[in-house]
Amino acid sequence: METTTTEIAAAMREQVTAYCENNGVPGYLAGVYRGGEQVVLAHGTANRSTGAAMREDTGFLLGSVTKVLTTTLLLRHVERGLLDLDRPVVSYLPEFELTEPGAAERIRVRNLLNHTNGIDADLLFADGAGRHALRDYTAALGRQCGVLFAPEEYASYSNGGMIVAGRLLEAVTGASYPELLERELYSSVGMADSSTSARQAILRSTAVGHFPAAEGARRTEMFMLPDTWGPAGGTAIGTVADLLAFGRTHLADGISPSGTRVLSAELTALMRQPSYDLGTPNVAPIGLGWLLMPFGSARVLTMSGASPGGVALLAVAPEQDLVFVAYGNDMRAMPLHDELLLWLLTESGVRVTDLVTPSEAGELVRYAGTYRSNQLRVEVRAVDGQLEEQTHYEPFDTEQERIFRGFAGGAVSGPPQRYVPIGRDLFAPAGMPAQAFNGYLRQLLVSYHGFADGRAAYRNAGGRMTRRHYDR
């Protein structure tokens, strides 16, 4: 007998209450659309400093969930003939440059949307606000950032690529990215309670993030990232109901709940078609905008979004006629997102099997070494049949450090972390059960790639590549 919407709401509320109280998460929002019915629930506090309650219509930063909105927005302009996915970005945006000569010229528009561009800018926090913020970010790319690999050689989660996509939209339309987001997407989808800036969000109920503290949680001192990060997930703010409407639009092949055609069925389908597969369990096949995450027999369109002290999730399961949206104003809410999504899929008839199993350790020296990417250094050592990693953030300047510290809650380097082998060139954090990685937390796994000289050339964690650094 199928679970009713009322029963789903009651079961979710029980899970949310127990998890938040046991793990110190101040507030939580969740929403489910399934088979024509919808439910939204709110729990706890939106801001511990004020005591404001989390409400069903409380807004929150979408974080990187914005990337799927940016992709949808760009494809609307492909549909109109203003952009071609297979043309070089520089043919529309001559200002686009990277520090490696000729690298920018090789990047096509589609490489911005499927994370295969290789731009080494994952942590480039260029400051800036207003109409020219994305232009300023693009200029900073040309001064400070090169590439990790050639286009389509690998995939690496690309904030920089998505920000360039936003600037590309500005160049071909003459409108700012926030203007396009409001006019072309919020309005068409029916996202009436969404906004593009803190200046708009202050006029309504909006949650703020929190970080773990001795008293349970402390409020963030940084509400959002600079305007330069808008298209990648710095500034967009929405509600559960609005994100459900966006998810339902993709569920309905591009038609919004109000009946408006937002995107053609062909381009909506293209977003969910695999365009790159790294072939490792910790990185889902990538469509355009979406991560195409397998859960047992189901393929779920997903994107999570971190903001200063918060984390959002959007998941669309077409075969199950299901959309799930969640937000927690503490990063410790991510396992709850996973728990609820796995439960909803199971309730919808999906049989989720273990993604990974323990494995014997091979020769670990082939993974050991120093790996680098934009302002990041990871030291990997072989210790007692395990790998030990330590990550260090190395900012270009005080501006980068200030923004990063605000986003991360103060920390710039993590403690050493041990990893155990669980598959070919694949490692899991020591002490975690295999079942923990069946859901979205599979992104905690670490994989190694490119063994031309017998040692790994790349390390992938959280979908992000770092490249082996060779001392010369």
Residue 118 lies in a domain: yes
pTM of the model: 0.96
End-to-end CA distance of the chain: 66
CB neighbours of 201 closer than 8 A, spacing ≥ 6? 59, 195, 237
The H-or-E segment that residue 406 falls in is helix 398-408
In SS3 terms, 162-225 reads as: HHHHHHHHHHHHCCCHHHHHHHHHHHHHCCCCCECCHHHHCCCCECCCEEEECCEEEECCCCCC
As a whole number, mean pLDDT of residues 383-404 equals 92
The pair phi, psi for residue 191, each rounded to 5°, is -90, 70
Let me know whether 415 and 461 are in one domain.
Answer: yes
Let me know whether 326 and 263 are in one domain.
Answer: yes
User: Which residue type, as a one-letter code, is found at position 342?
Assistant: L
User: Which residue type, as a one-letter code, is found at position 205?
Assistant: S
**Has residue 326 got a pLDDT over 70?**
yes
CB neighbours of 91 closer than 8 A, spacing ≥ 6? none
User: Which residue type, as a one-letter code, is found at position 44?
Assistant: G
Let me know whether 71 and 165 are in one domain.
Answer: yes
Q: For residue 297, what are its two tokens?
A: 């027999």
The residue out of 321, 353, 385 marking a domain boundary is 353
Let me know whether 88 and 218 are in one domain.
Answer: yes
CA distance 456 to 465: 12
Q: In what order do the strands lie in the sheet with 52-53?
A: 52-53, 37-47, 27-34, 322-328, 310-317, 298-307, 291-295
Buried b or exposed e, range 142-155, using 16+ CB within 10 angstroms: eebbebbbebbebb
Q: For residue 144, what are its two tokens?
A: 């400070």
Rg (alpha carbons) of the chain, rounded to whole number = 21
**Has residue 313 got a pLDDT over 60?**
yes
CA distance 83 to 89: 10
Residue 152 lies in a domain: yes
* 117-148: pLDDT as tens digits: 999 999 999 898 989 999 999 999 999 999 99
CA distance 116 to 161: 9
As a whole number, mean pLDDT of residues 32-56 equals 96
Q: For residue 452, what are its two tokens?
A: 């031309």
Whose tokens are 């090789």? That residue is 106
CATH of the domain at 387: 2.40.128
pLDDT at 361: 63
Q: What confidence tier does 3 reach under pLDDT thresholds 50, 70, 90?
A: confident
Residue 270 lies in a domain: yes
**Has residue 363 got a pLDDT over 90?**
no
Q: What confidence tier does 183 reach under pLDDT thresholds 50, 70, 90?
A: very high
pLDDT at 471: 59
Domain count, the chain: 2
CA distance 448 to 107: 24
Let me know whether 377 and 232 are in one domain.
Answer: no
What count of other Cβ atoms lies within 10 Å of the Cβ of residue 123? 21
Residue 358 lies in a domain: no
Let me know whether 85 and 15 are in one domain.
Answer: yes
Let me know whether 206 and 263 are in one domain.
Answer: yes
Q: For residue 192, what are its two tokens?
A: 């009436």
Let me know whether 205 and 270 are in one domain.
Answer: yes
Q: What confidence tier does 472 reach under pLDDT thresholds 50, 70, 90?
A: very low
What count of other Cβ atoms lies within 10 Å of the Cβ of residue 82? 14
Percent of the chain whose predicted confidence (pLDDT) is above 70? 98
Let me know whether 330 and 370 are in one domain.
Answer: no
The whole-chain average pLDDT of the chain stands at 94
Residue 207 lies in a domain: yes
DSSP 8-state assignment for residue 22: H
As a whole number, mean pLDDT of residues 175-192 equals 97
Q: For residue 162, what are its two tokens?
A: 């998505």
Residue 202 lies in a domain: yes
pLDDT at 152: 96
As a whole number, mean pLDDT of residues 433-461 equals 92
Q: For residue 110, what are its two tokens?
A: 């589609």
Q: What confidence tier does 249 reach under pLDDT thresholds 50, 70, 90?
A: very high
The H-or-E segment that residue 109 falls in is helix 109-113
As a whole number, mean pLDDT of residues 105-118 equals 98
Domain containing 436 equals 364-468
| SS3 (DSSP) at 411 | coil
- Decide: 15 and 340 in contact? Cβ < 8 Å: yes
The residue out of 329, 353, 377 marking a domain boundary is 353
CA distance 232 to 228: 9
The residue out of 300, 327, 353 marking a domain boundary is 353
Residue 454 lies in a domain: yes
Residue 359 lies in a domain: no
* 432-441: pLDDT as tens digits: 988 889 888 9
